[in-house]
């Protein structure tokens, strides 16, 4: 407890300039960081759904789609808002988590809330990472390089990087980008789920006061217009240098991942997350559980209504004439005592805390303060009375009663204290939005104002002074009672200067977050590199080699020599029967004699590259050790036919006889194709029909229905495979016989 109290004191002192600038705690946005993050999540979802309408899947297609968004004024602003809100959500979630930690709001039943909040924070970060990946620009390339370093170090994922992203047979990347998009959307859904888990079984607010929501959205729109995020160059894996704007809220792991061993980075990350998950065990403390006197309980249900964490419920008492009584769920009770303040029949008590009305107040003012305020002020409540220098001249030194939360104060305590000789009653609680138990300050304020049952006796209405301030300001509140009487964060003071300062603070925060996403990061710009792309099974033939190489089952080693010196010799990780991975070697820029040699169990190594090469700073010499792929087959062609990102032929053509649609049925086309145009065999006719569809028009159809874009959309292998599949459609059923 001492550690967290000390940290909270430091944090509260650091926040003092903000409180001074806005002049009223009700203008302070920091206590609302958690609920502001929910507003930012909503902004992220809305803008993300809008941008998805214009997104396409594929390495080049995704980059072009985002580039077109940047050319459209509304989409450009929406994209900027989406990015700034995402970064802001990370920041506000971290601020909220820190304030929860230093206020020790993670003990006992609230440990689950801490863990769900931590999970949401991790997911927010991962969603930001996948969002940057979706653009497939230089920043996405840097993320891929970092991921590859992790994959190489752990031996998991290298095959995916080579075969799906950087290898010669990676393809257009539609599947990769679709998977990243689904991950991005899935993470966002998971954030919403854990946010719900974080606040479920509570009556705490989900959203901040309206003015903070409005101020945040307006600031985001202005920042989105004034600071468009723009476009970086597309990803180019022949470039070794990383020179990109670095969003520190999302991409903070990128510099260490690209500069030191990934194992160290992963070890530190796991240690930090593990320590964060263990916070309730390491710093937690036992929380008292309210005790209910069944004989005194009348079943009025006020305590059930007021309990912030739904730890109370009414059950039918034994004996038909008793009706219902309140019972407590000890696993949900956080020991706030708010229910004690709602019970007018003395049926509840909180062990370890004295009910304020039980003290002897004769001749003194009574100050009832929440535990946070007492601890942070350094006041010893055992002094009777407490001596405060500023009140020495009046001789009216108060008696201070410590309660876990001012929500524990029952309105009848005011009358009881005054009847027993108190010169005044003063309630000092947490500032609006900053109650350690969420709503205790609001509840006591509403009770004392007779806006909520139970009420203050009419004789003593308005007697109690109220102040809801920072825990550091207990002494000031006692010396100047009633200066900050409202606990309602929506009840704004009329001070124009404070409102302007608060608006400026929010706007400045958003703009600083936006500007920070352009933090420069530069790595490897002064070095050249050699990259060897490996996807090879020993005993098979490599592209560019006349014969199969190596011995089946042997380990595969890559050796890189520069100017005759062996600078790297590494065994490549296995993926099934094949060695798959990337070998990156740094070198000084300039002309060098470079050799790349493959060792795989045979007496004679295979020379992949040998000769003089000029290595440019920030560039890579890429050497491939990739097996010759098998020729495309009918099954590959069927995949192209069905894949809407490549062939998509089934949209207009069926393979069922007589099922003509926009285009004619292709049933039997393998037999018919050779007879369509004199001088063209089936293979030639089918290729022409795909690449130049208007060269021959089937009777009953018109020109222009099939767009001539497949020469760009299909790779050579895709085209060969599609033709093979169409040639196999020889029978009346549409399939080969």
> 631-678, pLDDT tens digit by residue?
778 888 988 998 888 888 888 888 888 888 888 889 889 888 988 898
Q: Which distant-in-sequence residues (6+ apart) come within 8 Å of 494 by Cβ?
A: none
CA distances in angstroms from 471 to 22, 323, 372, 373, 489, listed in the order given: 17, 42, 6, 4, 17
Q: Contact at 8 Å (CB) between 477 and 427?
A: no
Rounded distance, CA 388 to CA 479, Å? 8
In the predicted model, is pLDDT for residue 390 greater than 50? no
| pLDDT at 383 (0 to 100) | 64
- In 420-534, where does DSSP find H-type helix? 440-448, 474-479, 496-516
Q: Where are the beta strands (DSSP E) in 78-201?
A: none
Per-chain mean pLDDT for the chain: 89
C-alpha 69, offset from chain centre: 23
Q: Contact at 8 Å (CB) between 356 and 414?
A: no
Which comes out higher in pLDDT, residue 660 or 566? Answer: 566
Q: In the structure encoding, which two tokens stand for residue 307, read together?
A: 């309990």
Count the Cβ atoms, other than its own, within 10 Å of residue 257: 23
| pLDDT at 263 (0 to 100) | 92
pLDDT digits (tens, 9 = 90+) for 505-552: 889 999 999 999 999 999 888 889 999 999 999 989 999 898 888 888
pLDDT digits (tens, 9 = 90+) for 579-604: 999 999 999 999 999 999 999 987 78
pLDDT band at 200 (very low <50, low <70, confident <90, very high): confident
In the predicted model, is pLDDT for residue 177 greater than 90? yes
Least confident range from 399-408, 490-499, 657-666: namely 490-499
pLDDT band at 196 (very low <50, low <70, confident <90, very high): very high
Residue indicated by tokens 């009140």: 391
As a whole number, mean pLDDT of residues 418-426 equals 91
DSSP reduced 3-state for 648? coil
DSSP reduced 3-state for 524? coil
Rounded distance, CA 358 to CA 337, Å? 16
| pLDDT at 505 (0 to 100) | 87
Q: Contact at 8 Å (CB) between 676 and 696?
A: yes
Rounded distance, CA 529 to CA 615, Å? 7
Q: Contact at 8 Å (CB) between 246 and 67?
A: no
Rounded distance, CA 288 to CA 303, Å? 17
Rounded distance, CA 508 to CA 504, Å? 6
| pLDDT at 733 (0 to 100) | 43
Residue indicated by tokens 């003509």: 660
Q: Contact at 8 Å (CB) between 189 and 196?
A: no
| pLDDT at 735 (0 to 100) | 42
Phi (first) and psi of residue 23, to 5 degrees: 70, -15
Rounded distance, CA 185 to CA 336, Å? 38
In the predicted model, is pLDDT for residue 732 greater than 50? yes
| pLDDT at 392 (0 to 100) | 39
Q: Contact at 8 Å (CB) between 172 and 284?
A: no
As a whole number, mean pLDDT of residues 370-378 equals 89
Q: Contact at 8 Å (CB) between 326 and 303?
A: yes
Least confident range from 434-438, 577-581, 644-648, 723-727: namely 644-648
Give the long-range contacts of residues 668-673, CB within 8 A, separation 24 or more: 668/729, 668/730, 668/731, 668/732, 668/734, 669/726, 669/729, 670/726, 670/727, 670/728, 670/729, 670/730, 670/736, 671/730, 673/726, 673/727
Q: Contact at 8 Å (CB) between 458 and 400?
A: no
Phi (first) and psi of residue 161, to 5 degrees: -60, -45
Phi (first) and psi of residue 463, to 5 degrees: -70, -45
- In 437-495, where does DSSP find H-type helix? 440-448, 474-479
Least confident range from 83-97, 553-567, 616-630, 653-667: namely 653-667
pLDDT band at 480 (very low <50, low <70, confident <90, very high): confident
C-alpha 681, offset from chain centre: 57
DSSP reduced 3-state for 20? helix
- Paired residues of 246 in beta bridges: 519
- In 665-731, where does DSSP find H-type helix? 669-672, 682-691, 710-713, 716-727
Q: Are strands 312-316 and 365-370 parallel, antiparallel or unpaired?
A: unpaired
Q: Contact at 8 Å (CB) between 516 and 458?
A: no
Rounded distance, CA 447 to CA 56, Å? 57
Residue indicated by tokens 């980075």: 265
Which residue, 646, 674, 650, 671, is CA-closest to 662?
650
Q: In the structure encoding, which two tokens stand for residue 263, read together?
A: 């194992």
DSSP reduced 3-state for 69? helix
- Paired residues of 597 in beta bridges: 559, 607
Which residue, 321, 350, 325, 349, is CA-closest to 335?
350
Question: pTM for this one?
Answer: 0.82
Least confident range from 154-163, 394-403, 599-608: namely 394-403
Rounded distance, CA 208 to CA 69, Å? 31
Distance from first CA to last CA of the chain, Å, rounded? Answer: 79
Q: Are strands 519-523 and 365-370 parallel, antiparallel or unpaired?
A: unpaired
pLDDT band at 708 (very low <50, low <70, confident <90, very high): confident
| pLDDT at 157 (0 to 100) | 86
As a whole number, mean pLDDT of residues 417-428 equals 92
Rounded distance, CA 667 to CA 659, Å? 9
Q: Contact at 8 Å (CB) between 287 and 336?
A: no
DSSP assignment of 348-369: EE-TT---GGGS--TTSEEEEE
Which comes out higher in pLDDT, residue 458 or 407? Answer: 407
Q: Which distant-in-sequence residues (6+ apart) come within 8 Å of 344 by Cβ?
A: 300, 302, 410, 412, 454
Phi (first) and psi of residue 78, to 5 degrees: -60, -40
| pLDDT at 495 (0 to 100) | 64
In the predicted model, is pLDDT for residue 322 greater than 70? no
Q: In the structure encoding, which two tokens stand for residue 478, read together?
A: 């006692």
Q: What is the largest CA-CA distance in the chain?
A: 117
Rounded distance, CA 267 to CA 205, Å? 37
Rounded distance, CA 172 to CA 60, Å? 7
Phi (first) and psi of residue 206, to 5 degrees: -85, -35
């Amino acid at each position: 407890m001492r550690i967290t109290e000390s940290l909270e004191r430091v944090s509260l002192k650091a926040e003092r300039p903000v409180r001074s600038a806005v002049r009223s705690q009700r203008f302070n946005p920091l206590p609302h960081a958690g609920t502001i993050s929910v507003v930012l999540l909503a902004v992220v979802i809305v803008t993300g759904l809008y941008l998805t309408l214009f997104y396409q899947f594929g390495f080049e297609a995704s980059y072009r789609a985002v580039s077109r968004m940047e050319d459209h004024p509304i989409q450009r602003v929406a994209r900027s808002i989406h990015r700034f809100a995402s970064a802001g959500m990370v920041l506000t979630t971290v601020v909220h988590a820190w304030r929860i930690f230093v206020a020790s709001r993670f003990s006992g039943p609230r440990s689950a809330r801490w863990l769900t909040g931590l999970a949401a924070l991790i997911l927010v970060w991962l969603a930001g990472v996948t969002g940057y990946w979706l653009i497939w620009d230089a920043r996405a390339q840097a993320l891929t390089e970092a991921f590859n370093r992790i994959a190489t170090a752990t031996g998991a994922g290298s095959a995916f990087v080579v075969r799906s992203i950087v290898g010669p047979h990676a393809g257009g990347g539609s599947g990769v980008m679709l998977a990243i998009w689904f991950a991005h959307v899935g993470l966002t859904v998971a954030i919403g789920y854990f946010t719900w888990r974080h606040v479920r079984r509570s009556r705490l607010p989900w959203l901040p006061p309206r003015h903070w929501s409005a101020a945040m959205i307006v600031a985001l729109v202005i920042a989105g217009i004034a600071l468009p995020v723009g476009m970086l160059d597309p990803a180019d894996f022949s470039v070794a240098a990383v020179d990109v704007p670095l969003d520190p809220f999302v991409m903070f792991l990128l510099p260490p991942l690209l500069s030191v061993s990934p194992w160290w980075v992963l070890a530190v990350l796991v240690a930090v997350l593990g320590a964060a998950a263990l916070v309730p065990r390491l710093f937690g403390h036992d929380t008292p559980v309210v005790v209910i006197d069944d004989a005194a309980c009348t079943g009025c249900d006020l305590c059930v209504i007021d309990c912030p964490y739904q730890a109370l419920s009414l059950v039918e008492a034994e004996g038909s004439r008793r009706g219902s009584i309140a019972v407590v769920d000890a696993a949900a009770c956080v020991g706030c005592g708010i229910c004690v303040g709602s019970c007018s029949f003395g049926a509840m008590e909180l062990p370890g805390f004295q009910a304020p009305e039980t003290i002897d107040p004769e001749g003194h003012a009574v100050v009832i303060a929440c535990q946070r305020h007492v601890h942070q002020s350094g006041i010893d409540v055992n002094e009777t009375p407490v001596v405060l220098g500023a009140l020495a001249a009046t001789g009216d030194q108060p008696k201070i009663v410590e309660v876990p939360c001012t929500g524990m104060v029952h309105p009848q305590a005011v009358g009881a204290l005054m009847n027993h000789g108190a010169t005044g009653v003063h309630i000092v609680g947490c500032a609006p939005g900053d109650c350690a138990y969420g709503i205790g300050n609001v509840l006591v304020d509403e009770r004392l104002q007779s806006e909520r049952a139970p009420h203050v006796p009419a004789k003593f209405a308005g007697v109690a002074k109220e102040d809801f301030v920072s825990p550091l300001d207990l002494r000031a509140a006692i010396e100047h009672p009633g200066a900050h009487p409202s606990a309602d964060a929506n009840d704004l003071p009329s001070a124009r200067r404070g409102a302007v300062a608060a608006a400026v603070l929010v706007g400045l925060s958003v703009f600083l977050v936006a500007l920070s996403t352009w933090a420069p990061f530069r790595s490897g710009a002064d070095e050249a590199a050699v990259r060897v792309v490996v996807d090879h099974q020993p005993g098979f033939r490599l592209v560019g080699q006349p014969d199969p190489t190596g011995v089946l089952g042997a380990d595969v080693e890559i050796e890189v020599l520069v100017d005759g010196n062996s600078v790297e010799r590494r065994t490549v990780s296995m993926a099934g029967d094949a060695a798959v991975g990337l070998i990156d070697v740094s070198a000084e820029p300039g002309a060098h004699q470079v050799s790349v040699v493959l060792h795989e169990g045979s007496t004679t190594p295979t020379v992949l590259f040998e000769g003089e090469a000029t290595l440019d700073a920030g560039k890579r010499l890429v050497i491939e050790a990739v097996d010759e792929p098998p020729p495309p087959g009918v099954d590959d062609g069927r995949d192209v036919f069905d894949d809407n990102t490549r062939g998509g032929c089934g949209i207009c053509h069926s393979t069922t006889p007589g099922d003509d649609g926009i285009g004619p049925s292709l049933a039997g086309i393998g037999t018919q194709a050779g007879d369509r145009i004199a001088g063209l065999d089936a293979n030639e006719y089918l290729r022409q029909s795909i690449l130049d569809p208007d060269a021959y028009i089937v009777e009953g159809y018109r020109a222009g229905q099939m767009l001539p874009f497949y020469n760009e959309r299909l790779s050579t292998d895709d085209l060969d495979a599609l033709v093979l599949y169409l040639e196999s459609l020889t029978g009346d059923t549409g399939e080969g016989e």
